[in-house]
Amino acid sequence: MARLDHAEDNGRYVLWDRDRFESMPSLVVFDAAWWRSRRRLTGEAAGRGAAYFLEGLDGLPWVLRHNRRGGLLARVNHDRFLWTGVEHARALAETRLLAEMRVGALPVPAPVAALAYRQGAFYRGDVITERISGAEPLADRLLQRPLTHGIWRELGSVIARFHRAGIHHADLNARNVLIDAASAVHLIDFDKARQRRQGRWCGPNLLRLKRSLDKFAAQSATFCFDDDDWRALQVGYNDSP
């Protein structure tokens, strides 16, 4: 369970797991080039929020993500956000939420550290989490082979647990669902996620995943997803205790 500590240093707001760092970690840990120079950058994943896979300082695998914008605005401003207070900085908010979800035994990555770097009216942000060992994105798994209906039901049950806890994942898609070697389900990338009262938002949030799966299926004839799979997921969601 993460025990978070925080500090501010010349416009740089840092949040970290104090069981990993005795004091505020050096800011170089948020720099992918620093890791690359030490040959501890083990891989990268493309996307709106590019992820860098690291050999962490504690010997465990970490993931470093830089907060990035999507859409048309990203063409002129790809990573700056309006500063509205430290409590609203996206990287810090995500890390605090991850710590709370871990307390609630939800299957999410363990938080390591986060940085919000303020420059005038704007800021940039970075998040470091543990990497879930032996896990791969649902989208990648379905390009290789189908899931059993039992795993689809488990996926529905897991999403229901998040919804009962009031966790609104802002980007619930087939790349932010991970399946590990034991077929356990995890959710990742809680940028812009928030905790709210369970309500009407749950249905549209679930359908966001359906649209993502349909999009992947339309792009590849070998993508293993059909209506029976979705019905199995819905059964798991509706029957979740």
The active-site residue, picked from 5, 9, 140, 171, is 171
Nearest alpha carbon to residue 2 among 125, 95, 119, 76: 95
Backbone angles phi, psi at 229, to 5 degrees: -65, -45
Classify residue 10 as exposed, middle or buried by CB count within 10 Å of its CB (0-12, 13-18, 19+).
exposed
Kindly give, in sequence order, each residue whose CB lies less than 8 Å from that of residue 199, ignoring residues fewer than 6 positions away: none
Active site residue 5: no
Counted residue by residue, the chain has a size of: 241
Neighbour-count burial of 17, counting CB atoms closer than 10 A to its CB (0-12 exposed, 13-18 middle, 19+ buried): buried
Residues 130/62, Cβ–Cβ less than 8 Å? yes
Catalytic residues: 171
